[in-house]
Amino acid sequence: MDTLHPLDVQLIGSEVALRWSDGQESYITFATLRAASPSAEVRGEQDIFGHKYGGEAPKSHIGVEVKHWEKVGNYAICFHFSDGHSSGLYTYDLLRRLGELPR
C-alpha cells in the first residue's frame, strides 16, 4: 500500500500549498503552521514520570512567514520561519490534518 505523501509543495502568498499522492490539495496559512509546530521548543518536553517542562506560551504568529522548507526522510517536512523557528518536524499526517482545518 502506498503511503500518503505530498507530490508538490509550494509557498504561495501567505500559505503552504501541498498536492497529495491521492490527488487532494491542502492550503495551510503560515500562521497556522507556525502555531502548530510539533517541536519540543514549542510544545515542551515530558520526562519519564509525565512531568511537562518548557514550551512556548500561546501567542499570535500573524505576519510570520515561511522562508524555505526541506524534506526530512520520507515522512516529514521542516519549515524555516521568519522568526527563526525551524526545529519542528511536520509529519505528512500532521500536515494533512492541518490542511483539513477551515482557513
Domain holding 38: CATH number?
3.30.2020.30
Number of domains in the chain: 1
What local confidence, expressed as pLDDT, does residue 47 receive?
57
d(CA 22, CA 70): 21
The pLDDT of residue 1 is above 50: no
The cell numbers describing 70, all together, are 526541506
The cell numbers describing 23, all together, are 490527488
Residue 17 maps to a domain: yes
By residue range, what is the domain housing residue 76? 6-43+54-99
Q: Which residue has the cell 512567514?
A: 65
pLDDT in tens, 68-99: 999 999 999 999 999 999 999 999 999 999 99
pLDDT in tens, 4-63: 999 999 999 999 999 999 999 999 999 999 999 987 565 555 556 665 555 555 567 889
Q: Residues 6 or more apart from 12 whose CB is under 8 A from it?
A: 27
